[in-house]
Structure 1
Amino acid sequence: MAGRSLRDDLEDGFNPEINTTPLVDVMLVLLVVFIITMPALQHAVKVELPRVAAAQIQAKPASVDVAIDAGGALHWNDQSVDIAGLERLAADAAQHDPQTEMHLRADRRTPYEEVMRVMSAAQHAGLSRIGFVSDDNTH
């Protein structure tokens, strides 16, 4: 068939265009199926639920703020501490409430090693819930 041109193919009855009729038929069948099944999915039993007066629990887990500045200085709730003091305060907080969260704010110039040292000390003292606080200013 080498040497045949498009004109020869058209004369033989070959049509190089894509026939979209079967695709449209399938789409219409799927549309009908979805139209029929949607009311069945939204059908729900009407039930009048009892009303009760209960206070919502607003208790948030205890949290502490730990900050590390660019020089590596530590601050526990805005109070300057060293790593031993941080570990002692973290152990006290974990003993008081095991679900205490530590919110860690580190200056972006703080060495990664300092951040890991603080996290390790907090985990060693019993604070396992550590979250990082960042600035969402993206301009």
Structure 2
Amino acid sequence: MALRATNTGNSAEPEVMMEINTTPLIDVMLVLLVMLIITIPIQLHSVNLEMPVGAPPASLAKPDKVQIDIDAKSVVYWQGLPVSALELDEKMKAIAPLAPQPEVHIRPNKDAQYAVFANVLSSSKRLGLNKIAVIGAEQFAQ
């Protein structure tokens, strides 16, 4: 808003005339109008997709589970049988190329050496096993 004070010379007080400066308002309205004109064509473009109706079919083939345990003495077990590091690598190499890749569940003991667990985990990733889960991790949160 603008305030213009003019002195007519006859009176001691200046004459107050209030006018609204409409230039900034018009500028803001023009900017909003341009933004609206630019964004309307973007909103009108759509891609119509025919989505399937209903629930997806259930997967009949469930992946196998491979259980790797590490006991308190840092001995590694494959499905309940103790294995060495070389045997573990050979078994992981055998299951890596399978079509539905089996889930590898690693269950370390709280008292096992971290180096053994890290070796099992890094071997599984290095050999291409992607479905890895650490079971019983809540025992470490204290």
Shorter chain as denominator, the TM-score bin is: 0.5 to 0.7
With the length of structure 2 as denominator, give the TM-score of the two structures.
0.53
How far apart are the structure 2 equivalents of 1:58 and 1:79?
Answer: 29
Task: Give ranges in structure 2 of 5+ residues lacking alignment.
Answer: 1-52
Distance 1:55 1:124, change over 3 A: closer
Report % sequence identity: 26
1:73-88 alignment runs, 5 A limit: 73-88=75-90
Q: Residue type matched to 2:97 in 1?
A: Q
Q: How many angstroms does 1:70 deviate by?
A: 1.1
> Which of the two has greater strand per residue?
2
Please provide the CA RMSD for this pair: 2.7
The CA deviation at 1:107 is: 0.5
Structure number with bigger Rg: 2
**SS of alignment partner, residue 87 of structure 1:** helix
How is 1:82-101 mapped onto 2 (pairs within 5 angstroms)?
Answer: 82-97=84-99, 99-101=101-103
Q: 1:35-74 alignment to 2 at 5 Å?
A: 56-74=58-76
User: What is the letter of the counterpart of residue 63 of structure 1?
Assistant: K
Cα 1:111–1:126 change in 2 (3 A) is: same
Which protein is richer in helix relative to its size? 1
1:86–1:122 contact (8 Å) kept in structure 2: no
Equivalent residue for 1:110, pick from 106, 112, 121: 112
Runs of 4+ in 1 over 6 A off after TM superposition: none
TM-score (norm 1): 0.54
Q: C-alpha displacement at 1:135, in angstroms?
A: 7.4
Count how many residue pairs are aligned between Structure 1 and Structure 2: 88
Which runs of no fewer than 5 residues in structure 1 stay unpaired? 1-49
**Structure 2: how far apart are the matches of 1:108 and 1:135?**
9
Q: Which amino acid aligns with 1:106?
A: P
On the 8 A contact 1:98/1:127 being kept in 2, the answer is no
